[in-house]
Structure formats: C-alpha cells, structure tokens
Amino acid sequence: MNDLEKATQVFEALKAAEAQPTQLALPMLNGLVGLVQGSGEAPLEVEEARSAAFMAICEVGKALHRGQPADPLWAAAIGATERWMALTK
C-alpha cells in the first residue's frame, strides 16, 4: 500500500470515527496506528505531514480516553491527514 492509499484510508476512517460515540471511535483510532507509522522511505515533507497526522490522531484518542471535548481535535487530525494526502499525490 502506498502513502496515498494509506492517507486516504486514514482520512476515511477518521471521518467515520468522528460520527461515532467514544466507545466505538477509540478502537477505530487504535486501528490506524499501522497506517500512520512511518517507513522513512518518503520525502521529508511527506514524512513530516504523516507524523503530524499521527500526533493529531493521538491527541484525539487521548481526549476521548479522558472524556474531554475532542471536537477541535478531530478537525486538526482531519486537516493534518488532508495535508498528508495532498503531499502524496
């Protein structure tokens, strides 16, 4: 699977998870870990975007796990993933 396919799958999963209650969204986010891990084979700009998406997704997960508001964090994670997608085209 190439970076564009991974980023697209992460984006779609984030949009689906955002609409779910916490108990369903958390496992969906945990399932993304393998897709957002870096291989170090992409250009630096792509790796940085991938890393930013990973960190933003982690922030959403932490907020959900702690029962904190996550609405602005979802937007940040989706935006970071969109940037990653754009750089892989």
Domain enclosing residue 70, as ranges: 3-88
Token code pair at residue 25: 């969204």
- State pLDDT tens for residues 48-85: 999 999 999 999 999 999 999 999 999 999 999 999 99
Give the pTM.
Answer: 0.92
Question: How many domains does the chain contain in total?
Answer: 1
pLDDT digits (tens, 9 = 90+) for 33-50: 889 887 767 899 999 999
H/E stretch holding 23 reads helix 22-30
